[in-house]
Amino acid sequence: MANQTITAPAGFLAAGVHAGIKASGAPDIGILVCPKGARAAGVFTTNRITAAPVQISRRHIRSRKVFAVVVNSGNANACTGNKGLKDAIAMCRMVAGLFGDGKVRPEQVLVASTGIIGHRLPMDKVRKGIEAAWKGLSPSADGGLAFARAIMTTDTKVKQAMRIVRLAGKNVTIAGAVKGAGMIGPQMATTLCFLATDAAISSNLLAKALKAAIDQTLNRLTVDGLQSTNDTAFILASGLAMARPITRPDRAYQRFCDALFEVCQDLVMQMGLDAEGATRMFKVVVCGAATKAEARRAARAVADYPLVKCAVHGGDPNWGRIICAVGSSGVRLDPTRLSCRLDQIYVFRNGRPCRFDRKAASAIIQRPFHTITVLLGVGKQSEFCYGVDLSKDYVRINAEYHT
């Protein structure tokens, strides 16, 4: 089978190793390298408390060329003060040094971390891990898979996606890896997400394309409502597919954006279905709103409401809780036109409950994915977001996790 990992685009090598940050023995250091250098773009958490690697990568992303991304899991390097900043810089410096001959500056390396908050990184282990990962760098699917494994935390599955798009007679590849699985809320680049492409594209357009794709995908998923201190998404573009460079918002740029959206969409579905304790995922679409912001607020209120999440878990077409969440969100609505649909089945229409086939509705909810549509009846704006069910396992995972 063709390489479908983050090393699928031309010009990338990756590796992942166990450095000893995690007690479990699972991989915890990953490196992605683009030896020829890549254009890069990033989006970061909007949490007011940002982890050290977020602060450092925000500076480094301004570099004209980026040569590598270094990531660790098992420790977020957040709330670690100046020492944490020094550790994040040291990780970049180590990787830059491994290129030799002063070829790469530390500012040309991006860094990301995920895991427990408030503990210093064990830098001796990190150093050895980076050295081991460096030796294992490979352009093969094995290298990409090892990288994707190294960024996992409570994820039960590796999350990767890949698309090929034809641009001006050349195949351009976009691939990505992402981690879940908790502390996930929209309005930021949810979680850690790494994307690579061999498209040649200007930095400005790359940043714009990344922002647009993340906004429609990862930023729409809410697992527990709040963004973490470490959320980051990077994209690196090597240009090595040898397609004509994208320098204007033309048709080729649009096709690139579409493919990037598909990769991110694939990743967000994997994240939702593997969210902590989740057994299924749902989309909330709010139509007929007075403003986009109100549509989004109402959709978030439904997706974040524990009683809706429990009802989805129980396969119960409990539209009362959906209506309650929408009303409680404070958005403008017409109570005589307010309606709600589960996929195609109306359960509430024009302010009144409908007769509907409860077994059919319950069967829809019990699918891995269904759509809750709410019509507010006061305007023309619509928005959506993704949610997941709330299970006893979510509680088990997060009550038994000890700091």
Applying CB under 8 A, the residues found at the interface with a second copy are: 46-50, 76, 78-81, 116-119, 182-183, 185, 224-229, 301, 304-307, 310-311, 313-314, 316-321, 323-333, 335, 338, 348, 351-353, 390-392, 394-396, 398-403
3-state SS assignment for residue 364: helix
CB closer to a second copy out of 131 and 316: 316
Cα angle value 104/107/108 (rounded, 5°): 50
Active site residue 153: no
* Burial label, 100 (beta-carbon count in 10 A; 0-12, 13-18, 19+): exposed
Query: By C-beta, is 184 or 207 nearer to a second copy?
Result: 184
* Active-site choice (50, 173, 190, 232): 190
d(CA 204, CA 214): 16
Closest CA to 194 of 28, 64, 47, 7: 7
CA angle 45, 50, 51 (to 5 degrees): 110
Residue showing tokens 């969210």: 275
We find the least distance from the C-beta atom of residue 227 to a second copy, in angstroms, to be 5
Q: Report CA dihedral (193, 198, 201, 202) to the nearest 10 degrees.
A: 70
Pairing of the two strands 192-197 and 232-237 = parallel
Cα dihedral 186→190→235→371 (10° resolution):
-60
Q: Which residues participate in catalysis according to the annotation?
A: 190
